[in-house]
Amino acid sequence: MTFQERSALAMTSILVLVFGWYFALVIGEIAKTPAREIAYQGLMVPVVILLVILAALAHAVIAIAAPAQAGSQDERDRLIGLRGHRIARYVLATGTVAGLGLAMVQADTFWIAQVLLGTLVIAEISDGATQLVLYRLAT
């Protein structure tokens, strides 16, 4: 695996774990509390801090495991990265329109925030997953 492929694998796994935990907690609260009363803002900050710490640790481990490759990127890595970003762009556009739609029908801020955050997360996961598939296909 190249440095970039390991990085994509680490980031995709971390995103799934961290935001899987976040959404499980937040969605779990809906059954017990009205949406507008759920204090999701207080959970978003620690989740983002956890994400940054895990990402930094994962990249440090990847770099230590293969110091010569650390941060290296060649033309194939860039091409695969661009293809992943292109898929993520469609997801972002769709989610943004969904968020705008919720704002237009005056949905709770809670739901607008969850849709926008979910869109960001799914876009990043789509980006990483696309890159991993392309690396495995040896593109």
Gap between the Cα atoms of 56 and 62, Å rounded: 10
Q: Report helix, strand or coil for 6.
A: helix
Among the candidate windows 7-15, 17-25, 70-78, 95-103, which touches other proteins by CB under 8 A?
A: 70-78
Write the single-letter amino acid at 29: E
For other proteins, which is the closer residue by CB, 4 or 114?
Answer: 4
Q: How many residues bind other proteins (CB under 8 A)?
A: 15
Neighbours of 45 (CB within 10 A): 9
How far is it, in rounded angstroms, from Cα 74 to Cα 116? 33
100 Cβ contact partners less than 8 Å away, ≥ 6 residues apart:
none
Nearer to other proteins, 54 or 63 (CB): 63
Q: Does 138 bind other proteins (CB under 8 A)?
A: yes
Structure tokens belonging to residue 83:
């293809």
Residue among 34 and 78 whose Cβ is closer to other proteins: 78
Q: Does 77 bind other proteins (CB under 8 A)?
A: yes
Decide: is 5 part of the binding site for other proteins (CB under 8 A): yes
Q: Between the CA of residue 105 and those of 99, 115, 124, what are the distances in Å?
A: 10, 14, 27
Nearer to other proteins, 45 or 137 (CB): 137
One of 33, 41, 72, 94 touching other proteins (CB under 8 A): 72
Residue 69 interacts with other proteins (CB under 8 A): yes or no: yes
Binding residues vs other proteins (CB under 8 A): 1-2, 5, 69, 72, 74-77, 133-135, 137-139
